[in-house]
Amino acid sequence: MSTFIKDFIERETVNRRNFLLATAAGMGAMAVPFAFGGGAARAAISDPAIAWSYRDRASAYWNSVVSGGEAFVESLGKSKDSLVSLINEGSSEKSLADIKAFLAKTGGKCAIACDANDSPNARPVVEAVRDAGAYISTIWNKTDDLHPWDIGDNYVSHMTWSDEKPAEQTARILFDAMGGKGGVVHLGGIAANNPAIERLNGLKNALKDFPDIQLLDAQPADWDTTKGTELMASFLTRFGDKITGVHCANDNIAYGVIEALRAEGIENMPIVAYDGNPEAVKLVMDGKLLATVFTNPHWGGGITAALAYYAATGAFKPSEEPKEHREFYGPTVLVTKKDAADFKAKYLDAVPSYNWKDFWGPSNGQIKYK
């Protein structure tokens, strides 16, 4: 098995935090001071409503994220249907409006897990949550100048993934398959999204060591399969057989690229992707993709909801945690043909069970800013 594949061992260390978490259910409405809305105190929320705000569930990636959230709420003895889905359909305006409506409906007695859709939207989202006295944990998108500790306990945590290095690794795999020469195109995510920026930067970092490979163009495909197909068709029209490799920002885009290539009768183009979705792993096993990168969205979806929920119930106080517990990287696993079968058996054939009180077990350290 590849050394990239990490063994997410369940941790049962008895410490102060786990003790508090284990006894949180018995706290009821016991008053615990929290800072929110400019520093006023609030009692812990005994049974907060739980919501996940995300783009759409048609994507295998987001489906896995929300499935993780459902697994978490089931661990509380609740029905998975008690997890409220706030689907923003790729609209930052809808993301903010839906969250404000949920805050109003619950009177702020809620815990929210959220991808704000794009980085600038994160600030108004978390400020609305803070002002309502609710709790939120975010993933992927926020601006570099926005930090949970500056907002207060109501902004519990932010998790992203260090995409630049894995994207550089996939690019190097791609360039080796291209024989170290030729032309590459990059199909990216939404331009303002942090992962879209980092994955393009990873490609550019790898290019520095391959002077005979030319980046023909890099354009956003908004994480979408249909847009991936359309953009790749446009690239083929513009560049033709100058294209000898394709670097995709996610698996969904890669599916569209494969369709566009198939329409032109091109079957053996080297392609790399990102997300580690089941369909993409199968394509890696079949030799249709060289590599993808798994970010364990099931764990990410569950642990993000868990952090917001347990902070809301008073099981732990975010401001008492070190900064590496407020902003941190999630896990990444590079998947190539040599280890795809083992990876599939470990992570996809049967979803691992996770301890949703081990908040930072599989994480990869504090977020670093350039």
Q: Which token pair is 270?
A: 């080297």
**Residue 60 per-residue DSSP state:** H
- How far apart CA 45 and CA 226 sit, in angstroms, is 43
Whether 30 maps to a domain, the answer reads no
Q: Can you give the CATH number for the domain in which 122 is found?
A: 3.40.50.2300
| 3-class state of residue 32 by DSSP | coil
Q: How far is CA 270 from CA 147, 202, 221, in A?
A: 39, 17, 19
- How far apart CA 288 and CA 108 sit, in angstroms, is 48
Q: Which token pair is 56?
A: 């759409």
C-beta of residue 360 within 8 angstroms of C-beta of residue 325: yes
Q: Are residues 278 and 227 in the same domain?
A: yes
Q: How far is CA 214 from CA 132, 174, 179, in A?
A: 51, 13, 13
Boundary (domain end) residue, out of 294, 315, 340: 294
Q: Are residues 190 and 90 in the same domain?
A: no
pLDDT interval class at 11 (50, 70, 90)? very low
Q: What is the pLDDT of residue 20?
A: 41
pLDDT interval class at 351 (50, 70, 90)? confident
Q: What is the pLDDT of residue 6?
A: 35
Our count of domains for the chain comes to 2
Whether 352 maps to a domain, the answer reads no
Strands 333-336 and 49-54, bridge-based pairing: unpaired
Q: Which token pair is 224?
A: 């979408």
Question: Residue 281 is part of which domain span?
Answer: 164-294
Q: Report pLDDT digits (tens) over 19-29.
A: 344 444 443 33
Q: Are residues 191 and 235 in the same domain?
A: yes
Whether 326 maps to a domain, the answer reads yes
Whether 66 maps to a domain, the answer reads yes
DSSP bridge partners of 245: 184
Q: Report pLDDT digits (tens) over 36-68.
A: 333 333 579 999 999 999 999 988 899 999 999
**Which of 166, 147, 167, 165 shows the shortest CA–CA distance to 157?**
147
What is the CB neighbour count within 10 angstroms for residue 303?
A: 30
